[in-house]
Structure 1
Amino acid sequence: MKYSLKQLAVFDAVASQESVSAAARKLSMTQSAVSMSLSQFENVLDRPLFVRQGNRLLLSHWGRWLRPKAKKLLQDAQQIELGLHDQQSISGQFSLSASQTAAEHILPSLISKIDTDFPELRIDLMVENTEHVIQGIINHDYDMGVIEGRNDDHRMHQETLLEDHLVVFTNPNHSYARHQTVSLAQLEQAKWILREQGSGTRHIFDGAVHGEIDDIHVWKEYQSVSVIKALVRNGFYLGCLPYLDVIKEVNEGSLVILPTPELDMKRNLSFVWRKDAGENPLRDCIVAEARRLVRRYKKQMDNTHLALVYP
């Protein structure tokens, strides 16, 4: 074979970092060694794998074609190494990107459990909205993601982790807080503080009101869940967030969930990864541990008022 796994790893790192110097730091190599390895790899293939755009190295047509195949070869090599060393051994780096709800309410317990049971497995976590999670996985920036709502990209594999729902909420002094039900007409008259476009939460909300409410008065949009809750607590606005994100404030009495029976805002939290990613023991381990964690949550919540429905 005319190329090596090391050259594939260098190519993948440069593609990920869009920089030779950043790739060198990631691989603990010198910049000159990375440049030489990449140059030799391109010479062997007789194809340019990158094009320079300012200070960034972006994948060429050939580079985009090669990257998923290189990624799979590297993952297969890692699996072979793990199997030869110890079939039960789970070790290495795994990059995970998640939307806010999962990052705040599910993943801390999961990562803590992984750190205890699999100390050689290192999870790098990035918090993004759903649109950016999916794009990052498509671009090979992350090994796996956790998203809210639906994914329509045919290149992605999706597996539901749990089901929950969004709620409309306000502060206890809002006039709607005294209503037994809030109608669609009343919702249309309100001022809203919502998540930004591209978030899974906003996608579910927009889908629920589409065809039901002609004109939603969106006063402000924010990426931060904490900012949305603070504004709704201190002003006469309505907000819409996952139940998990507001239950603490509802129990404390600073926010009130409004009964909106005409809106259906159920959604899933799901794992997603590229269909062409191949087998990955680290991913399998994380998914399995997450499912065990959710089952334990379900048993705990069966005796509480927490309105989550698990698959």
Structure 2
Amino acid sequence: MKYSLRQLSVFDAVASQESVSAAAKKLSMTQSAVSMSLSQFENILDRQLFIRQGNRLTLSYWGRWLRPKAKKLLQDAQQIEFGLHDQHIISGHLSICASQTPAEYILPELISKIDENFPNLCIELKVKNTDHVIQTLLNHQCELGIIEGRLDDSRLLQEKLMDDHLIIFCSPFHPYANNESVNLSQLEHAKWVLREVGAGTRCTFEGAMHGLIDHIDVWKSYENVSVLKALVANGLYLGCLPHLDIVDALEKGQLVALNTPDLNLRHRLSFVWHKDAGDNPLRDCILLEAKRLVSRHEKKQDKAYLNLPYPAGFKALS
């Protein structure tokens, strides 16, 4: 082979940063050295790996084809290096991109367990909505995602983390607050405050409404869950969020959960990763620790965990 691991590393850094100067900073190299390495790599392969768009570099067709294979080679090389230096095999960095609910209610305990059991494994975390998590994975900008709701992209693999369910809720002084149940006509005539388009919660909500209600009056859409809850708590709106997000407010009486028997509001949280990513011991470690965490709480039927009032709310991986 005529190319080197250093050239693969430069290629991966430029692809990640979309900039030669930013890649140089990340790799602690000079900008000219990065440019030269990248140019030599493209000459060796006889392929243009990037398309220049002003000061930004985006992957060409061949660059997109090469990216997951280069990352796999670099990961394998890192594991070889750790093994030869008698370091623990679970060492290095793994980037996770998660939607809001798992980032706030699942990952803190999981990352704490990882830090305790695998101190040489560093997890980098980004928080985005489900659509952005999927795009981040497809663009190879992270190695593992956690999303809410459905995944229909065949380029990604998926493994269930847990089941939750969405709750339609209102303020204690909303006209629906004392209703034994709320029917579809009442839901259709309400004003709603919802997560933004692209959020897994919004996708599950719209899927539940499809074919049952022709039009929903969405008054406001927000990315921030806390803002959404506060608006509903202080106004005459309805909201819809995962049970994990509002259980505290329900217990404190700040919000009221509505009984909506006509709707299927089951909600799933899942790990996802790129099909081309290949084997990754760091990713496998995260999945295994998550499975242990979930199973432990399920066996104990710990109703206090995450403030869930039902023991079946935290399901094991399957």
TM-score, normalised to structure 1, is 0.96
The secondary structure found in structure 2 opposite 1:264 is coil
Distance 2:314 2:95 in 1: 28
Greater shift, 44-53 or 213-222, is seen at 44-53
Q: Is the 8 A contact 2:137 2:273 kept in 1?
A: yes
1:264 counterpart residue number: 264
User: Shift of the alpha carbon at 1:60?
Assistant: 1.6
> Secondary structure at 1:178's aligned position in 2?
coil
Amino acid at match of 2:176: Y
Correspondence list, 1:107-256, <5 A: 107-256=107-256
Cross-structure match for 1:91: 91
Which residue number corresponds to residue 43 of structure 1?
43
Amino acid at match of 1:34: V
Paired with 1:67 and 1:127, the residues of 2 have a C-alpha distance of 23
Larger CA deviation: 68-77 vs 130-139: 68-77
1:71 alignment partner in structure 2: 71
Q: Which amino acid aligns with 1:4?
A: S
Residue in structure 2 matched with residue 106 of structure 1 by the alignment? 106
Paired with 1:97 and 1:223, the residues of 2 have a C-alpha distance of 16
Question: Contact (CA 8 Å) 2:242, 2:267: kept in 1 or not?
Answer: no
Deviations 1:113-139 (A, max 9, x none): 111211111111000001110110010
Instruction: Indicate the residue corresponding to 2:6 in structure 1.
Output: 6
Q: Percent identity?
A: 66
In the TM superposition, residue 51 of structure 1 has moved relative to its aligned partner by 1.5
Given that 1:75 and 1:279 are in contact with CA atoms closer than 8 Å, whether structure 2 keeps it comes out as no
The DSSP-based 3-state class of the residue aligned with 1:294 is helix
Question: CA separation in 2, counterparts of 1:146 and 1:71?
Answer: 20
**CA drift at 1:309:** 4.7
SS in 1 for 2:90: coil
Retained in 2: the 8 A contact 1:79–1:280? no
Decide whether aligned partners of structure 1 residues 152 and 269 sit closer, same or farther in structure 2, where only a CA change above 3 A counts: same
The C-alpha deviation readout for 1:36-82, integer Å capped at 9, x for no partner, is: 11111111112221111011011122212221221222222223334
- What is the root-mean-square deviation of aligned Cα atoms in Å? 1.4
SS at match of 2:71: helix
Displaced runs of 4 or more, over 6 A: none
Normalised by the size of structure 2, how large is the TM-score? 0.94
Equivalent-residue separation in structure 1 for 2:86 and 2:244 (angstroms): 39
What secondary structure is seen at the aligned counterpart in 1 of 2:2? coil
Judge conservation of contact 2:166–2:241 (CA < 8 Å) in 1.
yes
Alpha-carbon distance, 1:303 to partner: 4.2
User: In the alignment, which residue of structure 1 is the partner of 2:276?
Assistant: 276
Distance 2:45 2:28 in 1: 25
Cα distance in 2 for residues equivalent to 1:301 and 1:220: 38
Instruction: State the partner residue of 1:308.
Output: 313
Specify every segment of 5 or more residues in structure 1 that has no aligned partner in the other structure, as ranges: none
For the residues of structure 2 that align with 1:145 and 1:303, how far apart are their CA atoms?
Answer: 27
1:84: how far off? 3.8
Cα displacement (A) at 1:176: 0.5
Give me the whole-angstrom Cα distance separating, in 1, the residues matched to 2:224 and 2:301: 27
Name the SS of the counterpart of 1:97 in structure 2: strand
Structure 2: how far apart are the matches of 1:292 and 1:58?
39
Which amino acid in structure 1 is aligned with residue 260 of structure 2?
T
Runs of 5+ unmatched residues, structure 2: none
CA distance in structure 2 between the aligned counterparts of 1:28 and 1:238, rounded to whole angstroms: 51
Deviations 1:91-128 (A, max 9, x none): 11111000000000000111111112111111110000
1:256 positional shift:
0.6
Per-residue deviation, 1:267: 1.7
